[in-house]
Amino acid sequence: MTWLYLSRVGSDAEDDSVDDEFSSLLQATSDQPSSDATKPASETEIQTESVRQGSLIHLSAGKTAENKIDRNLLEGMTAKQRKDFISMLRQVDYDAISEHLWTGDSVAKYVMRFFKARKCSVARALAMLKTDLAWREKHRWKEAVLTKKPLDLIGLSAEQLQALLPIWHQGYCKNGAPLSIQIFGAVRLPSLLAATTLDNICAFQSHHSEGLARLCSEKNVDKWVIIIDAASSDPRSFFAQGAFGWARSMNDIDANHNPERLGSMLIINAPKVLYTFYSLLSYVLDDVTKKKIRIFATREQWMPVLHELVDLDQLPPEYGGTGYNKFRRVYSAAPSHKSYLSTPSLN
């Protein structure tokens, strides 16, 4: 086990002193073997003692290439932001975080997502991270992706899910980002809530998001892309009882527990009423998220944008692609939830 003793970084230090400190922490891991996220963190962790704070800093070991990516986390940050980020790293619980990481992710990248989501405020980011870890400890989403069937979580048959809530991982964008397609135009909320509960729906969507996080780690990317197809929407569904509660729950899953994960969201085939619904919902969205959302009414508008993001072989014909609809193929072969395998089979 390697011990590194850090000297105090004063307020009048050179701008690159924080970079040197952060790099030294990461460099210590460069010769270590790649870690397996399913093994106890104690097998691969590196403990670094801070003379200034007398606390332990824990950074995950990993390949040199992975550490270079971590060094790039500091790009574009001011000297104060870099110092604050390192201060936050000193205060997090390595074991609690690493327990929920997929192989390829790191504590530094995970912490940075919360740091950015709270506009580089250490106190607010730590509070957000604490809430997230409690949520993950309670629900154990990583374990759920590995062991639980999506249809068992939502409590629907394959036929019901196809009719009421088609959501799936379709493929990958040109930059490697996982692509999720969600046909909300098919949703008839009263019928959906008559067949299952809001808690079950949220569990299903949390499972889906955690599956996307796993795919991000496998592809060595940080963000995913979501296509929301609003074709054939029933205007009554947007304002049905429970609609805003569901929308707020979805935002909580993504914004508070998967911050900085959304690369972009394209809402396609949008009816006029959706613009009204979005304007009412947007008050719960942060400005960064709003900038990532684009709404298109017609096929002629969204098709060029989608094809710029995704190769045609990753898209089914209904979206102008040459591939196949993975959701339809998998669920058509699963007449009941007992015979459906698990999220990874959609990959």
The per-residue pLDDT of the chain, averaged, comes to 77
The gap between the terminal CA atoms of the chain, to the nearest Å, is: 38
User: Given a cut of 90, is residue 169 above it in pLDDT?
Assistant: yes
Band (pLDDT 50/70/90 cuts) for residue 293 is confident
Neighbours of 36 (CB within 10 A): 10
Q: Is the pLDDT of residue 274 over 80?
A: no
Residue 319's contacts (CB-CB under 8 Å, 6 or more residues apart) are: 181, 227, 303, 306
Alpha-carbon distance values, 3 to 16, 19, 59, 77 (Å)? 22, 19, 12, 27
Indicate whether 154 pLDDT > 50. Answer: yes
- Is the model more confident about 274 or about 200? 200
Joined tokens for residue 192: 């959906």
pLDDT at position 330, please?
A: 83
pLDDT at 219 over 70: yes
Of 31, 18, 35, whose CA–CA distance to 73 is shortest? 18
Percent of the chain with pLDDT over 70: 71
Cα(152)–Cα(199) distance, rounded to whole angstroms? 13
> For the segment 25-78, what is each residue's pLDDT rounded down to a tens digit?
544 333 333 344 333 333 333 333 332 333 333 444 443 333 344 667 888 899
The mean pLDDT value for 132-154 works out to: 95
Q: How far apart are CA 16 and CA 90, in angstroms?
A: 19
User: Which pLDDT score, from 0 to 100, does residue 70 have?
Assistant: 60
Surface-to-core class of residue 43, CB atoms within 10 Å of its CB (0-12 exposed, 13-18 middle, 19+ buried):
exposed
Mention every residue, 6+ apart, whose C-beta is less than 8 A from residue 219.
Answer: 172, 176, 177, 178
For the chain, what is the radius of gyration of the CA atoms?
22
- 233 in Cβ contact with 240 (< 8 Å): no
Q: How far apart are CA 304 and CA 296, in angstroms?
A: 11
pLDDT over 90, % of the chain: 52
pLDDT at 95 over 90: yes
Q: Return d(Cα 19, Cα 85) in angstroms, integer.
A: 11
Min mean pLDDT across 129-133, 145-149, 173-177, 247-251 is at 247-251
Mean pLDDT to the nearest integer, 287-301 = 86
